[in-house]
Structure 1
Amino acid sequence: MSDVAITTLLVVALFALLGSGVWIGLTLAGVAWIGMELFSSRPAGDAMAVTVWGAASSWTLTALPLFIWMGEILFRTRLSESMFRGLAPWVDRLPGRLLHTNVIGCTIFAAVSGSSAATCATIGKMSLPELAKRGYPEDITVGSLAGAGTLGLLIPPSIIMIVYGVTADVSIARLFVAGIFPGMVLAALFSGYIAVWAMLNRDRIPPPDAPMTFAAKLAESRHLIPVMLLIGGVLGSIYAGIATATEAAAVGVVGALVLSAAQGSLTRATFRESLLGATRLYCMIALILAGAAFLTLAMGYIGLPRNLAAFISSLGLSPFMLMVALAAFYVLLGCFLDGISMVVLTMGVILPTVQAAGFDMIWFGVFIVIVVEMAQITPPVGFNLFVLQGMTGRQMPWIARVTMPFFFLMCAMVLLLWFFPQIATWLPSKM
């Protein structure tokens, strides 16, 4: 069968299983099984067992449940309420008011976790209940969280950047530095959209609180101290070289427990609820990860990513059209694979083409991260969409629809990066 026919068959199988109500992780594994049984000579059962065990026993992924538990502790004690109370006076006069806390929170936490799923889940655990309690509309709340959660891949430290740096033989330190400005610009685009949306939908935004003096705002900011101490402890342990990202996640859990106990809001019940809540959410995410890992293996055996990449390389496109084609290619690939797998499976074929086109490898690394971010919120396998579906109980088409404006903002970011490459290259050039 041709690659087009194989792809069509797998897409139909994917939507059929999802539409029948099968769990997402089992759906991904089922599609992978179909692909390997029909189009590969390797036994599917053996491959699934090895792959699922490898995905479940990854040391790097240990950080994810720990960061989720940290978010649960913050959510179930008074720490998340304190964070919103400290931020509210400073954003209350901006169009959109507390909706900006999704972007601000994700931007800050992205520098802690390096994971899109962890950023989305942790900030979502704090912001979704607080914003709902204050009367903010659910569509823009969930959409902005899905979009801003992708910043975990762009703002260093970033797992995707490490994988790209190793594959393309590029300095990882320079890649990390290159991601700072684009991350800030993308966060500004998200906040700008929220402001415009709020001005066009004034009736849907809760009224502002009573005006406060500057001194009163500073006084309210004291409520930010516990959360800032927690973030400082996690970030500081990473950048001081004391802890890895996984160990820093454990520091975050211990810090959240200590701070909530000091506040008097940590009880036996809240501890138990936070632990069970984190376990339930991570089990959902882990099942999806296992299914995605098996699907990635199946795609590799079938050869679809390599064949599609080779096809794009053979078209002889201009640099700009090559950039557009690659963006579309990675977004399409994101419908089936996770970000790391996309980079690993395609770089060997794509890199000679982009080097021949004269692309700066640091710039291209940032470009790859942004288009992988776009894939994180692209159905049917957009990972942030799955995380939010598990947290909100909403259907995937609804979540994809409210997230779509932020997908287009990322498209705009890709164009900005093309016309103003200095956004990514200026800071690394000063190293």
Structure 2
Amino acid sequence: MRIFKESAWEIDVTGDKLTNELFIGRKKKAKPTKISVNILQAEKKSILRKKPKSKVAKLARNAEIINLPAARNGVSSKKRKSSDSTINETSIKKWKSESHKNSDPRSSANANNSATELSLKKNKKLKNLRNSSSTKEPSIANLTDGRDNSTTDVQAEMKDDKNLTNLKVSTKVIESRITIDRLQKLLAEKQQHDSIKIYKKSTEQKSLRDRMLARLKSSRFRYLNEQMYNSESWSSKKYFKEDPDAFLAYHEGYQLQVEQWPLNPLDTIIASIKKMPKDYIVADFGCGEARLAASVTQKVHSLDLVAINDKVTTCDMAHSSLLTGRIDVVVFCLSLMGTNLTDYLTEANRVLKKDGILKIAEVESRFNDVDEFIKTLGVYGFVNTWKDLSHNLFYFMDFKKDADVTKKRSKLPPLVLNPCLYKKR
């Protein structure tokens, strides 16, 4: 049994000891030499020079000092001279191999002494951990065995590698998705560009035709407009009756002009009539499409030279079919056209009630002297109650019927305004 107790020696020392005890009968103990002690001290110093960064590293350093080889803890590693006696070589090899296995550090856990030392170390570490629990030592699982930490580190590295691989794959997927989205966006932009190009091409083709038609309409409108300003109302009525398309052409040209105006005067008149009592009766001379009648709640008589729709009554505005003194409001919105304006205003005086309202909206270029125009209307039985001359293009004026002038028609002064002639564009 003595051999098994001393089996932790190195291979050569074990062989010599085995030979001495079995065959020679010597029982000498190996004395530690100064060289082995110096080696042990040097290794301890080298280990102690390492400054641990944490308490776990400090415990690992102490364990490394404790686990120094037995041969360096006082046992001489110097080889002894082998004996001259003849021995059984097979038995020596057998014992040497067993001793080599027991002295291998990787399999030291299989020996009884190594197991005992490990259990003592674990108990000591657990005791130290319990004593220093208030200082928040690391977990027991990380202190019981140094190999557990290495295993955990390896697992963590493997997990990091796996996460890195997954990250690379996800990055590639995202990049591929970005590429697909970019391609789809470029394709959509190209299709939109092509559609816009086709639309522009078709628009250019249409616009050429439309421009030609617009020019023809504008030219015809200017001609008709000039004829109406330089003719009496009965002549214009006769002309449009013989050629109804001429009035449609005039009306379309007029709408094109209205679209270019910064302000439509009819909108101002509609807004003012909406504020009047709902039982008022309105007469719209030169109504066009009868938009005034469609925009207010009051009853409106829409009069014009030609009836565009069923709301319009065809008549010569100098001689309407309205009853005398039955109208509350008479409107002339850009409709004082012709050379017989005196007839228009005497007709308005006839159909209006006492204190009835006359509303006029005209292009400012038609007036040489707006004050002189207001003064002349006083002779026609109208008193000016309100005017708005602030607009650059249109003048707005309101009058109240003060007297009946139907019997003085022949004595009234002539009323003349400049014709509104549209320039060629």
TM-score by length of 1: 0.19
Q: Counting strand residues as a fraction of each chain, which structure ranks higher?
A: 2
TM-score by length of 2: 0.20
Between structure 1 and structure 2, the one with the greater Rg is 2
